[in-house]
Structure 1
């Protein structure tokens, strides 16, 4: 079966969801294609906390707003939301129940009029020369395609850009690659667990490894409280990265992540106060991937841009998150923006440099390894999604490509939608 749309979005993660909702709200007939049976991607399958809504530091400045705020507001209408201040020094984390967020994504997409196609695996891009005009996909009903006036690649792995012949860097091949993590949730946790400080937990991890009774690849990480009493959630495991199309490698990683989750749970149960009577509720349905393909766009965001708190004339989202590099060692490398500064992500970083008709949103933006380690968090990905969806709707309406959308028009639209574009306050550095 063939479909037609004004805008088609690949991937229903946090970036893709906001992109699809934004496009539909701006008048575009929008189709969203997702491999899973639910919406939200990492935000509902792997994590329970949104980071990068706030910049680190004592002030905890809020830097993401607009449509992403509506998502948080909706969660709060259904359930409790915890705001955990300055978690790991990376700014306030917004912790929620993933099952509630699944419902919120469903509601917002339906209300906006987005056509959702779940259980559908993307097989490639439809192209006319260097212009991307649609998406090919397969599901139980057979092989299909969607043709559209504008295409958004929110796959996380830049699958469409790669298939269409777009330029990209592949983490692990073209430099370092961040590791993968399987998350898990624990129930029946005692009150004493809430009193265990981060440094105490890490010291116990080191002690566990030295004892020879445990094998813990990562001697830090987090276990945190959730809105539900007696339930804790983790980001602890560390699995080597793999290419997105290495199916044997990702299959091994899934098994390795689950095995590590069992080992870390055993460590918590046997060595950490409050976990003596705990039970393992479950592991994430798929492993959390931080970094694979990063497109090469009209501009490549770099680590200097981040640490210099650079603001761009075409900045479509603001971020204050530190560079958080989950390398292959037992710790995590952090680099903070001086003076709690923030930078903006240029619209050009969402535009593949040698393709037309398509833009990206989320962690496959055009960035170096270091910059990516700051810009990949959920809050920033949602802000990029709002920009990408709005730009795609403008392009479809005017009969132009996303690259041809006037920057002033896009920024004015985002401003009306309440997005934080970093125009207020003095920037440490400005760039054209």
Structure 2
């Protein structure tokens, strides 16, 4: 074979204090926080942009900021601050975050995924994080005693070895935990919540839409009844409870409608490559079916068209770490607080299965998530951040949302910093020291 003329250099290994795999909300918060403390931080991301489920999955909203309540005339009351607030403020300054909108008994905020990418890029660059896009971890480096010392990754240039004093698994799927052979579990007896293909509808008369359906983004029974009717008529509309959000862009709705199963009706688990692939294929088919329904039956959508779908099907739950602590379902509904709590959440339990999601509200209160939920039950040199935390099936259906993932990353960035600075394993870090650091940076606990 002749010389192609392409100069692909040999890939030298890298070393850092903290390596973060995955650039979603939790990964970005972890990397920025640790780098701001003066550490040498590398962020590894498989796409060419950050955002994870919020951007690649097009979830489109920052959920988990506000108390839920039944009080008449209540206004949005934000109780999640720290890095989550900083990122939201930066989004808002760039015109990429809408005002709070009703979401049942609480509120959420719709973001522009393109602005999300720019905001993350800016924060990472300003804080000095070395970002490696289009790279995926393919293995872990172990010292023989279950201590993680970094990862091997694949880049277009070739294989890359990255050694780190502390590694953070922010993959969403506990990928590094699995590669290291550490303890993990999957959903409720291996069943996980359905994936969703989210899409954006352009050409909408938004004023007419709001006038017809009000300000609650969870559509009411009239729309659900029509969906059930069309499903019985044979349309590909398996989910009857849908959520439609006006966005920061004129004439646009963010559509959280689909409920993706296998063609044979089975529940899909994106950890299996065949299921993940079928989820993408069936998800795009459902997008067209729901878009046609919206055009035919929903006021203001008669001239609408699909503007975009997510880069990938939205994944709510896959593999989770078995942690030193586990967030229990009773902790969520009981609004439990912990002495080692490093994040707070007011978000309801949202279980996505069947035709209608199950929602269980935490009213006028919040629960806390313990630090031990992010520390593997065994194995050293590793922390997790994001939705792969140690939590029961129903509990993670609340704890997985965006504002909380920002909060987890904020805390884990400080935990990694304390481990590096003190020369100790992450499990030995004093949770009170993490809480103190968070408090100094405006995170309320």
Fold-level match, TM-score > 0.5? yes
CA contact under 8 A between 2:187 and 2:392: conserved in structure 1? no
Unpaired stretches in structure 2, ≥5 consecutive residues? 1-11, 214-218, 262-266
Q: How much has 1:272 moved relative to structure 2?
A: 1.5
TM, length-normalised to structure 2: 0.91
Counterpart in 2 of 1:228? Answer: 249
Q: How much has 1:88 moved relative to structure 2?
A: 2.6
CA contact under 8 A between 1:204 and 1:272: conserved in structure 2? no
- Does the alignment pair 1:12 with 2:33? no
- Other structure's SS at 2:250 match: coil
Q: How much has 1:6 moved relative to structure 2?
A: 0.2
| Distance in 2 (alpha carbons) for counterparts of 1:63 and 1:164 | 36
| Distance in 1 (alpha carbons) for counterparts of 2:102 and 2:204 | 23
- Does the alignment pair 1:396 with 2:423? no
| Distance in 1 (alpha carbons) for counterparts of 2:305 and 2:436 | 51
Q: How much has 1:297 moved relative to structure 2?
A: 0.4
The partner residue of 2:66 within 45, 54, 59 is 54
Counterpart in 2 of 1:429? Answer: none
The partner residue of 1:333 within 337, 355, 358 is 358
TM, length-normalised to structure 1: 0.93
> Pairwise CA RMSD of aligned residues?
1.4
- Does the alignment pair 1:39 with 2:50? yes
| Distance in 1 (alpha carbons) for counterparts of 2:372 and 2:395 | 15
Counterpart in 1 of 2:183? Answer: 167
Counterpart in 1 of 2:378? Answer: 354
Counterpart in 2 of 1:153? Answer: 169
The partner residue of 1:139 within 149, 152, 155 is 155
| Distance in 2 (alpha carbons) for counterparts of 1:216 and 1:203 | 12
Alignment of 1:9-408 (within 5 A): 9-45=20-56, 46-57=58-69, 58=74, 60-79=76-95, 81-89=97-105, 91-128=106-143, 129-171=145-187, 174-190=189-205, 191-197=207-213, 198-199=219-220, 200-210=222-232, 212=233, 214-240=235-261, 241-327=267-353, 329-337=354-362, 339-408=363-432
Q: How much has 1:130 moved relative to structure 2?
A: 1.1
Deviates more, 1:315-324 or 1:119-128: 119-128
Q: How much has 1:273 moved relative to structure 2?
A: 1.8
Q: How much has 1:80 moved relative to structure 2?
A: 5.1
| Distance in 2 (alpha carbons) for counterparts of 1:179 and 1:196 | 30
| Distance in 1 (alpha carbons) for counterparts of 2:271 and 2:395 | 23
